Amino acid sequence: MKSKTNIDFARLLAWLEGNLRAEEAQLLATQIEQADEETQATFTWLQTFFQTREESTIAAPSPEVHALLTRQFEAYAQARRHPGLIQRLLGTLSFDSKLRPATASFRTAGPDLAPRQLVYSTEALDVTINLQWREDETLSLTGQIFTENEMTPDTFVIQLVQGTREIAITSTDALGEFEFHPIHAGAYDLIVSSDQTEVLIPAIEMAL
């Protein structure tokens, strides 16, 4: 049984950034191996985030998104001075309309053309994704963020990543809605971030 080990979040970041001495890094590696599932899940999330950040080719954002990202970075830098303020979560699939038998009666245009809805959940927010074929045989993605308290959502930055390359970046509107199009079918990662929360949704299969 894994022990309840309290590993400071700032130490995990320092290790992944290469800022610990060899002795400290070795001790921390042992502590992570013996840590509880929550700590190991946080570490796995951080490893994935760092790998994506290092390998991705970042496209130049629009002026509006650039200004928003600047504010997000300032908030992130402030939070780094007070570790633990930002939640880092992994989204899990909680609903897929393609797997619901009742949707079959609505597929009048054939199963490959029917819209598809996916819902990914975390303890802080839910992300709803709607996929629809376009006439040029690409996909249109619309989505919405629902926060835990069901009040008007904060503004979130949404990144769409495929492999080691960032495909697109956008931000939510006042209702928490966002969209990407056109998108080619395939597997994508979605990164959702705000001043207080970062959510990674890995390997979303963009297909109907």
Q: What DSSP line would sit under 9-69, residue for residue? A: HHHHHHHHTT-S-HHHHHHHHHHHHTS-HHHHHHHHHHHHHHHHHHH--PPPPPHHHHHHH
Q: Give the mean model confidence (pLDDT) for residues 197-201.
A: 89
Mean pLDDT computed over 170-177: 90
CATH 2.60.40 for domain 63-206, yes or no, is yes
Percent of the chain with pLDDT over 90: 25
More confident site: 26 or 5: 26
* pTM of the shown model: 0.56
- Say how far apart CA 110 and CA 181 lie, in whole Å: 22
Residues in the chain: 208
Q: Note the pLDDT of residue 153.
A: 54
Q: How far apart are CA 175 and CA 172, in angstroms?
A: 7
- Please report the pLDDT score of residue 207 as a whole number: 80
- The position carrying tokens 């994508």 is 188
Q: Look at residue 20 and tell me whether its pLDDT is greater than 70.
A: yes
Residue range 152-172: mean pLDDT, rounded: 84
Tokens of 29: 């590696």
> Structural domain boundaries of the chain?
9-55, 63-206
34-68 residue pLDDT tens: 888 777 777 788 778 777 766 665 566 677 777 77
105 DSSP 8-state letter: G
pLDDT at 191 over 90: yes
Cβ atoms of 86 and 76 within 8 Å: the answer is yes
Q: Supply the pLDDT for residue 85.
A: 57
pLDDT score of 105 more than 60: no
- β-strands 87-90, 197-206 pairing: parallel
